[in-house]
Amino acid sequence: MVKEQLIERGIKDRRVLDVFGRVEREKFVPPDKQEYAYEDSPLYIGWGQTISQPYIVALMTELLSLKGGEKVLEIGTGSGYQSAILSHLGCVVYTVERIPQLAKKAEEILSLLGYRVKVKIGDGTLGWEEFAPYDRIIITAASSSVSLPLIKQLKIGGKIVLPLGERLHQELTVIDKVSSTRVEKKAICGCIFVPLIGKYGYKR
């Protein structure tokens, strides 16, 4: 179901398409939402957060231009679904979630399903310096700018994919770090995400 929908929406990366047939989205949503797991829509997962619709997860994953083996930092663990997708694609995944209940639940599910993902509870706008630098960074919450700590923790030649803009409307954006002092931005499409809360993000 999901694979066909993604092809219709323009996802072309064969590895990305294949992984959506292998990672079971219903494992990452609450029991009362499992019947809707394969609809192309976001679903509420508690604590004011959602699991993104499959198309957006696929698009953000495709925009990372992964080959396999990359070290990826995810900001906003949520349900753990995006982490599972990245791990299944052969990435070494580090993920930061500010809401302890979500972080612990995602860590349990990921471990139960055999994904070796490192999960941290904390302020995602600060990144995770201990394991930097990263080949890719994916931010799954809206920000009006990219924090300096995240830029610093990205390798030269690396990419950040995130929803960039105002609280009520953003552009899905790819940022390429072309040197230690310069980045290039490319807006892809409009989107709406929950806000990224933190020192360098939105305030509550």
Q: How far is residue 73's CA from residue 150's CA, in Å, rounded to a whole number?
A: 9
Q: Give the number of other CB atoms < 10 A from CB of residue 124.
A: 30
**pLDDT for 77-92, tens place per residue?**
999 999 999 999 999 9
Mean pLDDT of 46-56: 91
Contact of 121 with 103, CB cutoff 8 Å: yes
- Extents of the domains making up the chain: 2-191
**pLDDT for 122-174, tens place per residue?**
999 999 999 999 999 999 999 999 999 999 999 999 999 999 999 889 999 99
Q: Give the CA radius of gyration of the chain.
A: 15
Beta strands in 14-97 (DSSP E): 43-46, 49-51, 71-75, 92-97
Percentage of residues of the chain with pLDDT beyond 90: 84
Annotated catalytic residue, options 52, 83, 143, 147: 52
Known active-site residue 52: yes
- pLDDT given for residue 77 in this prediction: 97
List, in sequence order, every residue forming a beta bridge with 169; answer none if it has no partner. 166
- pLDDT given for residue 1 in this prediction: 53
Q: Provide the token pair at 172.
A: 């899905």
pLDDT band per the 50, 70, 90 thresholds, residue 41: confident
- pLDDT given for residue 36 in this prediction: 87
Which helix (DSSP H) or strand (DSSP E) does residue 118 occupy? Answer: strand 118-121
Q: Work out whether the CA dihedral 19, 22, 23, 26 comes out positive or negative.
A: positive
Mean pLDDT of 26-41: 89
Q: Give the number of other CB atoms < 10 A from CB of residue 150.
A: 24
Percentage of residues of the chain with pLDDT beyond 70: 99
**pLDDT for 164-186, tens place per residue?**
999 889 999 999 999 999 999 99
Distances from the Cα of 63 to the Cαs of 10, 70, 198, in angstroms?
Answer: 12, 14, 25
Q: Which fold has domain 2-191?
A: Rossmann fold (3.40.50)
